[in-house]
């Protein structure tokens, strides 16, 4: 299994500002993903964080709004840029181990409130 630490666990931000969320894994992992969970909703995949190259974004998500970095196999960041109240959500980091058929592990999430 993989242990995932996300920072911060929660934050309250002013509209128009940006927040960077960190995801640290206790072991090297092949794949890392970022999800958004809006209040009362299911999880929506934002992007796949690729080590050493640009992230792959899902439909409806763009790099200018959600820039992602992944400098190595254990760490990634997601930035929520130019925030508005609609960005208030839980943002979760997820990883899949080196074996392709294993389950995904999730962090506890970052609860973001934009005021």
Partner 1 sequence: DAKTTQPPSMDCAEGRAANLPCNHSTISGNEYVYWYRQIHSQGPQYIIHGLKNNETNEMASLIITEDRKSSTLILPHATLRDTAVYYCIVRSTTGNQFYFGTGTSLTVIP
The residues of the shown chain that bind partner 1, judged by CB under 8 A, are: 4, 31, 33, 35, 42-45, 48, 56, 92, 94, 96, 100-101, 103-109
Dist CA 76 CA 85 (whole Å): 24
Q: Sign of torsion, CA 93 9 13 17?
A: negative
In the complex with partner 1, the residue whose CB is nearer, 56 or 84, is 56
Rounded to the nearest whole angstrom, what is the least distance from the CB of residue 28 to partner 1 in the complex? 16
Rounded to the nearest whole angstrom, what is the least distance from the CB of residue 104 to partner 1 in the complex? 5
Rounded to the nearest whole angstrom, what is the least distance from the CB of residue 92 to partner 1 in the complex? 6
Dist CA 72 CA 41 (whole Å): 31
In the complex with partner 1, the residue whose CB is nearer, 4 or 80, is 4
Dist CA 48 CA 55 (whole Å): 6
Dist CA 68 CA 21 (whole Å): 10
In the complex with partner 1, the residue whose CB is nearer, 14 or 100, is 100
């Amino acid at each position: 299994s993989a242990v995932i630490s996300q920072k911060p666990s929660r934050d309250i931000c002013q509209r128009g500002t940006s927040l960077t969320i960190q995801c640290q894994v206790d072991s090297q992992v092949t794949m890392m993903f970022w999800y958004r969970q809006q209040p009362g909703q299911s999880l929506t995949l934002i992007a796949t964080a690729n080590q050493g190259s640009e992230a792959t974004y899902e439909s409806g998500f763009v790099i200018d709004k959600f820039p992602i970095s992944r400098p190595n196999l254990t760490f990634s960041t997601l930035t929520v840029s130019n925030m508005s109240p609609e960005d208030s959500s839980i943002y979760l980091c997820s990883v899949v181990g080196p074996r392709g058929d294993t389950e995904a592990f999730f962090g506890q999430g970052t609860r973001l409130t934009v005021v």
